[in-house]
Amino acid sequence: MMTTPPFPIRKECPPGACDCKRELLLDDPQADLRVLRLTKEEEKRLLERIEAIASYVELMRVSARLQEQLGVAVRIQPGPHEVRTVRGFQIELGNRPGLCRKTRQAVPAAIRKCLDRHPDIAFAILNAHDLFAEQ
């Protein structure tokens, strides 16, 4: 039995196009449905917001809001090898049911665009993950 949440939810992806397991969320009455609030229109606004970020603090704030409002964790850290460009960062969204594959690709791409425009944010991320930084 599928439950319908009391708020607009993301339309399902075409069969075989996504691995979001949206049905698992809708079938489970105890499931956290917050991630389904990210409709395509909301995702577009989110991506625009991420690309417009101008500081490390703002990036961390948006990351915290994603966790708080959608239950989606964003991980941004230097890759295992030397970081010479923003491609050297590992940017991942937590893999959770209901989070569309395209969203898991689009958000890191938007963060990379932001880092390209604002190298100071990339340096702040490197500093936050410094060998001698407090953990």
- Phi-psi bin for 71: left (phi > 0), alpha (psi -120 to 50), beta? left
User: What pLDDT was estimated at residue 5?
Assistant: 67
* Tens-place pLDDT, residues 42-78: 999 999 999 999 999 999 999 999 999 999 999 998 8
| Residue among 94, 92, 85 nearest 115 (CA) | 85
Which domain, by its residues, includes 121? 39-128
Assess if residue 77 is contained within a domain.
yes
E strand or H helix at 25: helix 22-27
Assess if residue 86 is contained within a domain.
yes
Assess if residue 13 is contained within a domain.
no
Q: How many domains does the chain have?
A: 1
* Tens-place pLDDT, residues 76-133: 988 777 666 677 788 999 888 888 888 999 999 999 999 999 999 988 988 887 755 5
Assess if residue 90 is contained within a domain.
yes
Q: Hey, which bits of the chain come out as E strands?
A: 74-78, 89-93
Assess if residue 62 is contained within a domain.
yes
Calpha distance 116→95 (Å, rounded): 25
Calpha distance 28→93 (Å, rounded): 22
pLDDT bin (cut points 50, 70, 90) of residue 2 is low
